[in-house]
Amino acid sequence: MSEHESADSGDDDQELGITKSKEYETGEWYAEVVKKAGLANYAPEGMSGFIITRPRGYALWERLQGFLDAKFKDTGVQNAYFPLFIPESYLEAEKDIVEGFDPEVAWVTHGGHDELEERLAVRPTSESIITPYISQWVRSHRDLPLRVNQWCSVVRWEATETKPFFRTKEFLWQEGHTAHADRDGAWDETMTRLDQYESVYEDFLAIPVLRGQKPDHDKFPGADTTTTVEALMPDGKSVQGGTSHYLGTSFAEAFDITYSDEDEAERHAHTTSWGLSWRALGALIMTHSDDQGLVLPPTVAPTQVAIVPIWQEDTKDEVLGYAEGVAEELEEAGIRVELDDRDTRNPGFKFNEHELNGIPVRFEIGPYEVEDDEVTVVHRPDGEQSTVDREGIAETTREHLDEVYAKLYAAAEENLEGEVREADSRDEILGTIGQHGGYVKAPWCGDEECEDEIKDQIAAEIVMVPFEEDDDRHGTDHDDTCAVCDDDATRTAYFAKSY
C-alpha cells in the first residue's frame, strides 16, 4: 500500500544493512549476517576460534534442541550428563580414539597450583567416558537396549579459521550412545537416528539433504560404519549435517560391555553413537539468508510474526488498539508474535530491522487496514505482499507460515537438484567441481588413493557414498570402471568441497 511504501526508512538503515554480496563475497557476507542479525560475536582477543552466542542465536539452538530432543524421547532415549574432563587413561583404552582425536584435544595439567597426577582431556567427544559407565549399567539382556544422550559442548583445538557455527574450537552438540544385544538392533538404532537427523533438516530447517555413509577411510575412529546426512550450501560446498555410527563390538570389547543372554552365555554388546552440532545453524543461515539479512523458516524462528502498526498522531490510539487485538489473538493461538509499537523508530526502520533479523512474516497495520477490517501480510523470503481479512487471522497466519516454509524448501531443493552432476573421468571430476562446485557423482574403486588424487588437486573429497541398497554400482553386475584409476568400480562416490 502507498502509505507503507512511502514510509521514511531513516539514516540508521546504513548500520542495519548488509553490505556484502552472498553470491560474490560469501564468507564476508555470512560473517556480516551473523553479526548484524545479533546471532554471535567473536570471543576476546587471545581466544581465537571461540565465539559468544548471543540470545537470538542461542534461541535458534534451543528451538532445534526442543525439536530433536522430543524425537529422541519418543524413541526411548534418556538424557544424562557426563564430566567435561576425561582422564587420559580413559582415552587410551581405545587406541583408535587417541589416534583419531589427539591432535584436536585440549589438556588440563594443573588444578590450582598443583600438577595433576594424570592429564585430563577437555572432551573432544565422550565415547571414552560414557562407555565405561554403560559397561557398569549393563549386566543382562534385560538391560538392553540402553540409550543415553547428552546435550553439551565439546572442544576440538585444531580449528583455526573460525566461521561461527560452522567451525569453532568449542561447539554445542548432542551425542547419543546406545548398547544392544545384536547387530540388527544396533543397526536399526543407527538408521533411526539418521532418519531423525534427516527430519531436522527437511522438516524443521527447510533444507533437503542427501543420505548415505562415509567411505571406510573417513569413518569415525573405531566405528564399523559411519552414516551421514549431507546438505549443499549455495556456494556449492557440502556440510556434514549429522552422523550416526554403528560401532560394532569394538567399543564393547575395549570397555568390557558384556551381558548374559537368555541362555546365560556372556556376550559383547553392539553399540552406536550419533551426534548433531550447531553446524546445523550454520547451514540454516547460509542456505536461506540473503543480501537483506537473516532468513528463517517459521519452525525455527523465535518470532514468527512481527506486527508493525503505522499511525499518525490522530490515528495512533485506533491503530494500536487494533494491532494489539491481532497480537493477542495470535498469542492465544500459540503463534510467536512481536508487536513493534516503539515510538522511537519509524515504520521503514522497523521493516528493515525485522527483515535483517529474519522474521518470516510481517503484518502492516495502518488506518486503511483498521477501516477495512484487514491486515497486510508480507513474506520475508521474497517480499510477497497480500491483504487478508482480520476475521480468522490465526488460521490465516498459519497458512502463510506454511507458505513461507514451502518457499524456502523449494528454493533449497531447486539448488540441490541443479548441483548434482555426473563424471566418468578424473578430468571431468576436477573440471566440474572447479567450474560449478556442487556434488559430482562418479564410479569409484573404493581406494583412498583415488580420493587423494582429487583432494590434492582441488581440495574436494568424497563426502558420501550411497547405501549399498541404493547404489547400482555395488557388487560386480556392471561394467563401470573407477573414474580416477580405471580399475573396476565397486561404489558410487559423491565428490564435493566441504565445510
Q: pLDDT tens digits, the chain, 499 residues: what are they?
A: 333 333 333 334 446 689 999 999 999 999 999 999 999 999 998 888 999 999 999 999 999 999 999 999 999 999 999 999 999 988 887 665 545 555 588 999 999 999 999 999 999 889 889 999 999 999 999 999 999 999 999 999 887 778 999 999 999 999 999 999 999 999 999 999 999 999 999 999 999 999 999 999 999 988 999 999 999 999 999 999 999 999 999 999 989 999 999 999 999 999 999 999 999 999 999 999 999 999 999 999 999 999 999 999 999 999 999 999 999 999 999 999 999 999 999 999 999 999 999 999 999 999 999 999 999 999 999 999 999 999 999 999 999 999 999 999 999 999 999 999 999 999 999 999 999 999 999 999 999 999 999 999 999 999 999 998 888 776 656 678 999 999 999 999 999 999 9
Tell me what pLDDT residue 6 has: 33
Q: CA distances (Å), 175 to each of 58, 76, 252, 319, in order? A: 18, 15, 17, 49
Helices (H), 180-278: 183-199, 250-255
- How far is residue 223's CA from residue 272's CA, in Å, rounded to a whole number? 9
Q: CB count, 10 Å around CB of 319?
A: 20
CB 302 within 8 A of CB 310: no
Q: CA distances (Å), 32 to each of 26, 56, 323, in order? A: 10, 15, 32
Q: CB count, 10 Å around CB of 388?
A: 17
Tell me what pLDDT residue 161 has: 77
pTM, to two decimals = 0.94
SS3 per residue for 472-487: CCCCCCCCCECCCCCC
Q: What is the DSSP letter of 203?
A: I
- How far is residue 225's CA from residue 235's CA, in Å, rounded to a whole number? 29
End-to-end Cα spacing for the chain: 43
CB 185 within 8 A of CB 270: yes
- How far is residue 162's CA from residue 47's CA, in Å, rounded to a whole number? 11
Dihedral of CA 65/68/74/76: which sign? Answer: negative
Tell me what pLDDT residue 473 has: 75
Q: CA distances (Å), 171 to each of 51, 176, 315, 387, 396, in order? A: 9, 16, 49, 43, 38
CB 209 within 8 A of CB 491: no
Task: Tell me which residue has cell 542456505.
Answer: 287
Q: CA distances (Å), 147 to each of 75, 127, 257, in order? A: 9, 13, 14
- How far is residue 293's CA from residue 279's CA, in Å, rounded to a whole number? 19
- How far is residue 137's CA from residue 128's CA, in Å, rounded to a whole number? 15
> 441 forms bridges with which residues in the sheet?
422, 494
Tell me what pLDDT residue 327 has: 98
Rounded to an integer, what is the distance from CA 391 to the centroid of its chain? 37
CB 140 within 8 A of CB 260: yes
Q: What is the DSSP letter of 142?
A: G
Tell me what pLDDT residue 14 has: 46
Q: CA distances (Å), 272 to each of 40, 156, 244, in order? A: 33, 21, 8
CB 434 within 8 A of CB 495: no
- How far is residue 325's CA from residue 338's CA, in Å, rounded to a whole number? 12
- How far is residue 277's CA from residue 302's CA, in Å, rounded to a whole number? 19
- How far is residue 64's CA from residue 132's CA, in Å, rounded to a whole number? 29
Tell me what pLDDT residue 254 has: 87
Q: CB count, 10 Å around CB of 116?
A: 15
Q: Please, which contacts does 4-9 make with residues 24 or more away whose CB atoms are closer than 8 Å?
A: 4/310, 4/347, 4/364, 4/366, 4/376, 7/310, 7/346, 7/347, 7/348, 7/351, 8/346, 8/348, 9/346, 9/348, 9/349, 9/351, 9/352
Tell me what pLDDT residue 135 has: 96
CB 482 within 8 A of CB 488: yes
- As a dihedral over the C-alpha atoms of residue 315, residue 317, residue 323, residue 325, rounded to 10 degrees, the angle is -140
